[in-house]
Structure 1
Amino acid sequence: MFWRFTTLFSLFAVATARPTRGLRKRAADPVLNETQILNFALTLEHLENAFYTLGLSEFDQDAFVKAGLPAFTRGRFEQIAEHEATHVQFLTEALGPDATAACNYSFPFTDPNSFVALASILENGGVSAYLGAAQFLSDKAHLTAAGSILTTEARQNAWIHSAVLKLEPWSRAFDTPLTFDQVFTLASGFIVSCPATNPVLPVKAFPSLAVVEAAPAPGSTIHLTFNSTTTAPTFLALFAGLNTTFVPITNATALLPTGLQGTVYGVVTTNGTAVSDDTTIAGVAVFDFAFPSQADN
């Protein structure tokens, strides 16, 4: 299944010391004004809209059933597709002539099962995107609208993860906010090209990060691949809810902490106490650590 347990770009880093934990310190985001933030959201909604449109055009009801998925699956995805199209329409009308247009995309699904797995990653990424951007919205109407979309994305992801993938519907007591650059790094992997007339947003994608192991488990050692010329110590920063755990990297390996569960994001950073976009040298990795219903959540 597509990136179920690994990363979009990947990770690193073991060493000796125990991981340090603390409340998430917000990375230094690029400065976006209100219009740019809404266009950033519209960029993500265009991507999701294109994803569902393409997937449903390729796989009919019979294909979903033959893939072993519940009979209700495709119908619910049709409803989700309608939600995403509505989000695109809403944001486009709110932005008027300033609205960004859809891009050309490439999605690496090959069958209904990989389509479903990727849908879960996109929906969870949408939650982290809206959650991370919310603090920068000053217009209360925009903040309410963003919150309304965020909760819908969260409901969609919980349904995909639990009812279809038969995994946990949530990760922990808090969802995980991501910065604009972290979110754009996740999204840029699917964007092939965009219209030259689209507004330019002050965001960037980090260099790629990959995990060699297909399904790493908490407490295991992982091997990372990423390009870096830094001579400074590097750390794997793991974002889970409002907390960040730092694990030192040695010889491109990292020891994952025990107790990880649900969706966890990771980046390589040169700062072992706080993450900023300026100190991030590779990312973003996406992990999904399954946990049973009996687990202490």
Structure 2
Amino acid sequence: MTSDTELLEVFDARAKRRDSRRDFFKAFGTASALAGGFVLATKTDPASAQAAPSDADILNFALNLEYLEAQFYSYAANGVGLPANLLSGPGTTGAATGGRAVAFTDPVVAQYAREIAADEIAHVTFLRTAIGATAVGQPAIDIGTAPSGAFSTAARAAGLIPAGASFDPYGSDEAFLLAAFIFEDVGVTAYKGASPLLSSKVFLEAAAGILAVEAYHASIVRTTLYAKGIATPAAMIGSKTIIEATESVSGARDSLDGASDIDQGVRATGAGATLASNIAPLDGNGLAYSRTAGQVLNIVYLNNAAVTGGGFFPAGVNGPLRMSAAN
């Protein structure tokens, strides 16, 4: 293959991803109007901004994300949420609503789900112990299937379902994996971005340990989605094939977290793409990329503006790091 052909393929891949992001903005505008609470309205809360967050602030921010992951996986794998003794603490506490068990048809996916659920519950327990008395309580979390809910809004914005429809992450193995794909990739980039801000070596080691586990989880989810997409190329998640669905979700996340084009699906792009998967989403140096706390909140709030709640956290996360970035 000539170098000119390779360059054309790379440029074509970039153009397609830009188009995907533009489509996302159009779809998200429609979805937001339907969802009411997910509109792209800018809010301001100067008290939420903090130039130099403390280690406790950073760990509490991470704890909010672990509540979300632990509740989703616990319901999907076990049919129940976190126990009450892991939910209390400072802040506005709330329930995790809408979760239920998945009737898995693939025993391997079921075993993965149970393993990841146990890991995420352990993360919540560990962080609450490490932070101590100031560990924030669980905020309100939306992991349901309502047409106006977080999962459905995200799926509709990614072009997987039409207006007014709902997305059920508990309805099939593939839908569960795609929902997990949303959370795990964000978790990896969140810990990667937060770790350098920690001043305590003890906390840094702990964050690095959780980052490694989240990366393992992300790899499991991405590998399984890719394998299922290759084995059954005609299988669909909503209106997309399995592999296309990962690319649509990736484009949606990229449209929320700023101008940079860093997020990636599970299929390689560019020259030689048909010969390779993209299980590890990396930068040009082979390194995992990072997101700031604000960018992470853009994704979990399903909003590219500076707001203090929405999406999977209808009333926002607890702690001082609660405002998303203005993108």
Alignment of 1:129-208 (within 5 A): 129-166=190-227, 167=266, 168-172=278-282, 173-188=286-301, 189-193=311-315, 200-206=319-325
The CA distance in 2 between the partners of 1:174 and 1:29, in whole Å, is: 28
Give the TM-score of the pair, scaled to structure 1: 0.55
Q: 1:98 to 1:118 in 2, by over 3 A?
A: same
SS in 1 for 2:314: strand
Alignment of 1:264-283 (within 5 A): 280-281=326-327
In the TM superposition, residue 120 of structure 1 has moved relative to its aligned partner by 1.1
**Number of the residue aligned with 2:184:** 123
Paired residues of 2:69 and 2:120 also in contact (CA < 8 A): yes
The CA distance in 2 between the partners of 1:156 and 1:93, in whole Å, is: 23
Give the letter aligned to residue 115 of structure 1. Answer: F
**Number of the residue aligned with 2:70:** 49
**Number of the residue aligned with 1:73:** 109
In the TM superposition, residue 199 of structure 1 has moved relative to its aligned partner by 5.3
**Number of the residue aligned with 1:64:** 104
Give the TM-score of the pair, scaled to structure 2: 0.50
* Structure with the higher helix share, 1 or 2: 2
Q: How many residues align?
A: 179
Following TM superposition, the consecutive aligned residue runs of length 4 or more in structure 1 with deviations greater than 6 angstroms are none
Aligned with 2:129 (options 82, 93, 99) = 93
SS in 2 for 1:148: helix
Of structures 1 and 2, the one with the larger relative CO (CA 8 A, separation 6+) is 1
Q: What percentage of aligned pairs have identical amino acids?
A: 28
The CA distance in 1 between the partners of 2:50 and 2:182, in whole Å, is: 22
In the TM superposition, residue 11 of structure 1 has moved relative to its aligned partner by 5.3
Q: 1:29 to 1:159 in 2, by over 3 A?
A: farther
The CA distance in 2 between the partners of 1:135 and 1:29, in whole Å, is: 16
Give the letter aligned to residue 85 of structure 1. Answer: I
